[in-house]
Amino acid sequence: MTPASKESPTPERPAVGRRTVLGAAAAAAAAPALLGRTAAAAAPAHQGPPALPGGGDLGPNVLVFDPSTPGIQAKLDEVFTKQEKAQFDTGRYALLFKPGTYHGLNAQLGFYTSIAGLGLSPDDTTINGDVTVDAGWFNGNATQNFWRSAENLALVPVNGTNRWAVAQAAPFRRMHVRGGLNLAPAGDGWASGGYLADSRIDGTVQPRSQQQWYSRDSAVGGWSNGVWNMVFSGVEGAPAQTFPNPPYTVLDTTPLSREKPFLYLDGDAYRVFLPELRTNARGVTWGNGTPRGTSLPLSQFYVAKPGDSAATLNQALAQGLHLLLTPGIYHLGEPISVTAANTVVLGLGYATLIPDNGVTVLKTADVDGIRLAGFLIDAGPVNSRTLLEIGPDGATADHAGNPTTVQDVFLRIGGAGPGKATTSIVVNSRHTLVDHTWVWRADHGDGVGWDTNRADYGIRVNGDDVLATGLFVEHFNKYDVQWYGQRGRTVFLQNEKAYDAPNQAAVQDGDVKGYAAYKVADSVTSHEAWGLGSYCFYNVDPGIVQHHGFAAPNAPGVTFHDLLVVSLGGKGQFERVINDTGAPTSGSSTVPSTVVAYP
């Protein structure tokens, strides 16, 4: 794609479109009630396959415990032993705890493992013990502790502080820690990147060696330090705004938020709770009676199992069912087509969707209230033009009162094997809310190389009025984030440029040295972003120069707050931070160059 084509649609233009070293660098007005989706009419029985049932068993990799279950610790240890080092293996697990009180547990979480309580409130399910992520498997380096999650539990840590030493795609959601929270591995080894939302930490959060972190709509008893980029929105107890020293970016509220759907028990029956939309949100959504929102019985979901085809999933959607994706690997020969308003697609245990023959994994219509949450998309060996499309090209409908939400949806190109995709996520629908995503062109694992796992663009936003809260986008061959829509907003970006660029020419954007991590199109007149960081580690050719991390038009309505770029150990350099503003990075010293406000 030529530079000129980036500003106007062409047939060639994508519809939109780690890291082994990092560590050494730094030792609401409510929405209308949603009572269900608008269902497509089911075909008469004689015209197609038999109707698919709703509800059913959650499958062998969803392990459900209650306080009387024998051998809980042994089962937790068994799963951890399988998953501790299984970075690119196929095991997927969800560990679910019925409401009640549990004693003496330490749930260590490895790859592709989710733990969650089954109450309406975190305090319904209390573990007197810990939910632990550490980095013993990687010699104290937590920068590859990906793809695991904790949700909807209350913890009373044994030693007063729970350890959650993670990197990307490892959300800590809807949790109540009756003590402190340590975000670094034992010994304060390296850690880089993470996300906390709708959680209450009674004690102090200790990032320690964590280099960047985003916390949203939560309450903390204190916050001890920051390394490079700590961003808060709607967090009670957050530190004061002090970027760049300490590097705290603080918004009193989150402009718009709607918490992730979650599975819970109503008596003996499973339901999925759908939290309501909040504007100017602050603090947690739970703790003062029944949470605000609606819920759906499991009978309105097709409970998908690994091996189900895209045709089966689409049949279920056409019948008016939602989708619950149980843990495992799903190969798709055609796109999942989500066309009805208010449809929920919810994954458990990092259910993973892989496109066959270069198809797009999932496409949505330009309708209200679709909720996509809790699954991983893994690119296939045949290039996909796109992996996830939110709305069709040219979408214009207003969804301000009931937007599509994309939460804990993670995308990967390479690592588990060869994968290619021109653009990972395209957002066409207006008012879409993207809340915590990690879009990763792999820098390690299998099927990794400059052209082997080719992926030019991470996220492309075409729709107007889109809000992103918690973007993690890394290593793309060209632009990581491209923004074409008007009135877009981003709160927090963590980015690394592609390590493996072979030479300067490979990343030359016309006359500009290197592709910006985050580029707002010249046609945009209104855009705002807070707390963006981009890092380079050009280890193949350390002489590569990146002119800037961020690029945007010089327009009165386009503003940025608290930006930084970092050269890791001098492997490549930034000349500027945004456009032609900001100091260059400092030789081999891993010291951020910052801009507090632009323009």
Q: Tell me the catalytic residues.
A: 496
Give CA–CA dist 139/273, Å, rounded: 39
Is 514 in contact with 480 (CB distance < 8 Å)? no
SS3 call for 7? helix
Query: In sequence order, what DSSP letters do the residues of 236-290 get, joined into one string?
Result: BTPPPP-TTSS-EEEESSEEEEEPPPEEEEETTEEEEEEEPEEEEE-S-S-SSSS
Strand extents, DSSP E, 161-210: 161-163, 172-173, 176-177, 180-182, 195-197, 200-206
Is 166 in contact with 209 (CB distance < 8 Å)? no
Is 223 in contact with 201 (CB distance < 8 Å)? no
Q: Which DSSP letter does residue 6 get?
A: G
Output Rg (C-alpha) for the chain, integer angstroms.
22
Strand extents, DSSP E, 414-525: 421-427, 433-441, 457-461, 467-474, 481-483, 488-496, 508-509, 512-513, 518-520
CA 599 to chain centre: 29
Laid out side by side, the sheet with 481-483 consists of: 336-338, 362-364, 384-390, 421-427, 457-461, 481-483, 518-520, 550-551
CB atoms within 10 A of CB 505: 9
Amino acid letter for position 138: F
Amino acid letter for position 284: V
Give CA–CA dist 180/199, Å, rounded: 12
Helix (H) or strand (E) holding 80: helix 72-83
